[in-house]
Structure 1
């Protein structure tokens, strides 16, 4: 016999702790709520202190408007807020924190003390809360603003505490959050102390570059590009790095929507996509970008921790972000690639030591390398981006292992990957060709029937038009077959079926370039380029270097692999004992 299920109303203290878990997940959740309130209060200076990653202490002090003495206890009642008054206000939220359960949830999960004074009052008011209830209240001298101290977070909720990370990990999340806020509000002076040590200090002078320099260093901040673009009521502003400034993850991408830091995969994808084929593989840009959008076009109340937002037209916002970053890259002045000036962990340094034993590889084959000048105009007559890293003056010395072009530069030796370099040259040439002017085509004397597996057949159907523009002429022939009538002039395959099949396999797995035509062009460029193991004449190598200099992104191939590595003169001299 089944036991009867009893329905009951939970005790207030139990309900409060459950509700607290929806808003307060870990120390960084508390910090976010308190920073939101400080910013909404008009603070110009905010000090954040934490101990043991925020588990034992979190204190946020601001110089904002403060809380009226008669409203101090009311601030800790559920559903109490000064941010909204009625249902219509939900569609026009102009503040960061408006969830009425934030302060009571924090108080339910910790011991809390608040000190606040409004400018018109001679003294401030302090209150101490235990388990969400005010147990002490008194007048107290205090500067204008509010200071909230949270102690022993989750001490009485051990089930919650055991799922937290180590204090160092929790503290790092808090500092990262504060860094994002400092970039979103450069007009506020932030001072962050973790474990008694200063973790972050910004001037609050309103210059985003100064705030950025406090986080990433002055040299990186100086290299950043201005972002300023508006379209259809969407305004995208901030700074982004040139293609020479990158990181191994997306952590250095800060996105804000109407001043609110958000974690949005679509917006992050749009921003990264603007750098397509300009960054090495598995590297990501550095940026701090704010998207200003009308209140009615964004819903900020879709996540308990306010970390996500929902847009009425997400694609339009993504397009605006992508276009804003692309324009910033195009409008910037060319920058020289200088290894000596590279800040650690920011600029790419592909080679750090002397090459080891002779490289093994395929046996050399003599091959002709067809190179042509890259047009200065882009697809459909558009100008190619002017932002690019210039190559130093290089003098070709010879060829290593029939794969690498050895060059002397003003600051050491450079090894050029002949396949990656030629791939970049061919790719840019394909993109620069107007749509009305077809690529070089090699017609076949007799059409070839190509049998394909289902995935490759679908890939060919998807990209048939783009491949046709690039010289691969095909027609459907049954369900899973195609007739090949022409191939790109540079393909040069002995076995057409094998080469086209390999091309389709690579195209099917291509994810680096997102534009359909660009994806097809990158794949064709790879298969049309000189291969490793091909012997090149001195003239061909010089022409390759010269053509690479005129490409839009000479340091990487379309798939993000480096085209060259550098061994500095200092490193060489150290190996020979001259330093």
Structure 2
């Protein structure tokens, strides 16, 4: 087949496919244009998931009439000087590809007016061809209407989701920019129904309330940190507001919504030992840094970025979020009007997803850098599993296994960090017969186990002798603890997590079990040790160590108020 130059219309459709993947892509490009134009109000309207109609209206600066035809020319933009620095971009758009790409994939109408102009102007395209410019009555700003998306590319339409699925993608785009620009009032209408309204007050928490609801927004914790020329601002949810997917981690770089796996991992790693397995945080994080330190010209969709000092950015974000969680994350509280079950004395606590706003965290002592629990008076034990304690704000139910696991985890981790594990030699060594996979993992991670206090040596063809164990495991099933750790690392734990995984496994196996009756003195000692922990509100696996039942809730249930 001979080499030939593609017709311009075909080339335009190919190029459009890199920018316009689905209706949400169109909305993203048009919303970014509106924000770059200085809009304070942006309205988005879609029909049939955006396939039939997308309309974005803003009150920005508008487009001068004489420049309107240029807006549909490829690589025509007002945001970058001909000799502009592509490595110091301060606007959301800059490539000059959005409008021509949309016009190549759909029919487009642009109505716009600049301040001081007697009238506005309208420009329409049909089947990829622009019609003559015409005058139009319009307020200051721009309205872009997109119809019949991918009508000329039926193959692309086949890969779209249902209208409801596409509408959800559009809602995600609008929600993210409502979070990034709380000073801009956003509205989203889906098939004539108002789906999202943000107030545009400038308060990030009010924007979060529009997206996630007032109860969740009220519980969010403020994040603010500055280091190495990087400013981190945002809101993060306490661990018990965790979600089932990573979709609720919103990341912005200089207010640009980005998808960055390493940044998302920085946020998730900050929740380490605070979230249960399979749960993910809700977070809104905005990084501000010199535009020259970040490359946004990675992909036509502008959703990916590269950092000049990625490791430093990771560190600043991770430490900022972790510090907030350690200092301010509250103890989960039962619903103020939690009902009593048919069995007397047993409370039905709601699932974590439906918990109300938790009580404010206990006041921090002067100079404290961690959450400080209130003074607790141990009352007794329930079901040989939960320690009952009284505090100034009501009753606390403490899971004895989770609490002891947290105490041991922090103690073992500290000793490991100083290289001084406490070792208990065994009079009679234990024998471990690892599987083939476990044996391979043992060779790779023998140093991690030795650093915790395990003394291992080969015995026969495949067996291993355990001659010493960490002091915390004395009298426990140390062989099982080693086997479970080897299974975990064999399953593919990321390298930074392997040492933590070993500490968590050791703490879990050494902790007091549910069902063990404790003396009053043992319970008091457990509470005292928990109070001294850096993160006393959860075990290393993310389960809560305690639940708070307020005095007001008790009074309501007994009819005292």
Is TM-score (shorter-chain normalized) higher than 0.5?
Answer: yes
Aligned-residue offset at 1:100 = 2.0
| 1:186 paired residue among 164, 182, 185 | 182
1:488 maps to 2:470: yes
Q: TM-score w.r.t. structure 1 length?
A: 0.81
Greater CA drift, 244-253 or 460-469: 460-469
Number of the residue aligned with 2:358: none
8 Å CA contact retained: 2:332, 2:546: no
> Residue in 1 aligned with 2:307?
311
1:471 to 453, 461, 469: 453
Any residues of structure 2 matched to 1:357-372 within 5 Å, and which?
Answer: none
| Contact in 2 for aligned 1:276/1:512 (Cα 8 Å) | no
Residues 331 and 537 of structure 2 are in contact (CA less than 8 Å); yes or no, is this contact kept in structure 1? Answer: no
* Partner-residue secondary structure (3-state), 1:335: coil
1:93 aligned partner:
89
5+ residue gaps, structure 1, are 343-348, 359-382
1:59 Cα deviation (Å)?
A: 0.9
Query: Cα 1:564–1:231, aligned 2, differ >3 Å: closer, same or farther?
Result: closer
How far the C-alpha of 1:541 sits from its partner, in A, is: 4.4
Which one of 192, 197, 207 corresponds to residue 193 of structure 2? 197
Q: Is the counterpart of residue 340 in structure 1 residue 340 in structure 2? A: no
Change (3 A) 1:352 1:27: farther
Is 1:75 paired with 2:56? no
Structure 2 counterpart of 1:421, from 400, 403, 423: 403
Which residues of 2 match residues 3-18 of structure 1 at below 5 A?
5-18=1-14
Change (3 A) 1:438 1:127: same
Which range is displaced more, 468-477 or 77-86?
Answer: 468-477
Matches within 5 A, 1:175-574: 175-332=171-328, 335-340=330-335, 386-387=370-371, 395-399=379-383, 404-405=385-386, 407=388, 417-433=399-415, 435-436=417-418, 438-445=420-427, 455-457=437-439, 459-460=441-442, 463-474=445-456, 484-493=466-475, 497=479, 500-506=482-488, 508=490, 511=493, 514-532=496-514, 534-537=516-519, 539-541=521-523, 543-545=525-527, 547-563=529-545
CA contact (8 A) 2:42 2:185 kept: yes
Contact 1:280-1:556 within 8 A present in 2 as well: no
> For residues 100-122 of structure 1, what are the alpha-carbon distances to aligned partners after superposition, in whole Å with 9 as ceiling and x for unaligned?
22111111221211111111322
Preserved contact between residue 353 and residue 567 of structure 1 (Cα < 8 Å)? no
Tell me what 1:364 maps to: none
Deviations 1:219-238 (A, max 9, x none): 32232222222222222222
Alignment partners' CA distance in 1, 2:49 and 2:142: 22
1:91 Cα offset (Å): 1.6
Q: CA deviation at 1:30?
A: 0.3
Alpha-carbon distance in structure 2 between the residues aligned to 1:494 and 1:275? 29
Q: Within 1, Cα distance between the matches of 2:246 and 2:124? A: 40
- Check whether the contact 1:384–1:552 (CA below 8 A) recurs between aligned residues: no
Q: Helix, strand or coil: the match of 1:490?
A: helix
Aligned to 2:30: 34
Query: Which stretch shows the higher mean deviation, 383-392 or 460-469?
Result: 383-392
Distance 1:37 1:510 in 2: 43
Shift of 1:480: 7.3
Distance 2:297 2:494 in 1: 34
Pick from 122, 130, 135: which aligns with 2:118?
Answer: 122
CA 1:263–1:494 in 2, change beyond 3 Å: closer, same or farther? closer
Deviation track 1:360-418 (CA, whole Å, cap 9, x = no partner) reads: xxxxxxxxxxxxxxxxxxxxxxx995137879876324435xxx337487999987554
The separation in 1 between residues aligned to 2:60 and 2:405, in whole angstroms, is 57
Hey, what's the Cα distance between the residues in 2 that align with 1:427 and 1:118? 63
Deviations 1:305-361 (A, max 9, x none): 2211122332222112101112222343x634322269xxxxxx9x996789x9xxx
Report the more deviating stretch, 184-193 or 386-395.
386-395
Quick one: structure 1 residues 502 and 113, their matched pair in 2 at CA, closer, same or farther if it must change by over 3 Å?
A: closer
Q: Which residue number corresponds to residue 380 of structure 1?
A: none
Contact 1:391 1:554 in 2 (8 A): no
Distance 1:461 1:355, change over 3 A: farther
3-state DSSP class of the match of 2:468? strand
2:223 and 2:544 map into 1 onto residues whose CA distance is 27
Q: Structure 1 residue aligned with 2:135, among 133, 139, 152?
A: 139
> Which residues of structure 2 form unaligned runs of 5+?
347-366
Distance in 1 (alpha carbons) for counterparts of 2:130 and 2:484: 72
Following TM superposition, by how much is the alpha carbon of 1:259 offset from its aligned partner in structure 2, in angstroms? Answer: 1.4
Q: TM-score normalized by structure 2?
A: 0.83
8 A contact 2:274–2:543 mirrored in 1: no
- Give the number of aligned pairs: 539
Which residue is equivalent to 1:162? 158
**Partner Cα distance (1:538, 1:354) in 2:** 30
- Are 2:109 and 1:113 aligned? yes
* Distance (whole Å) between structure 2 residues aligned to residue 389 and residue 218 of structure 1: 27
CA deviation after TM superposition for structure 1 residue 212, in Å: 1.3
Aligned to 2:361: none
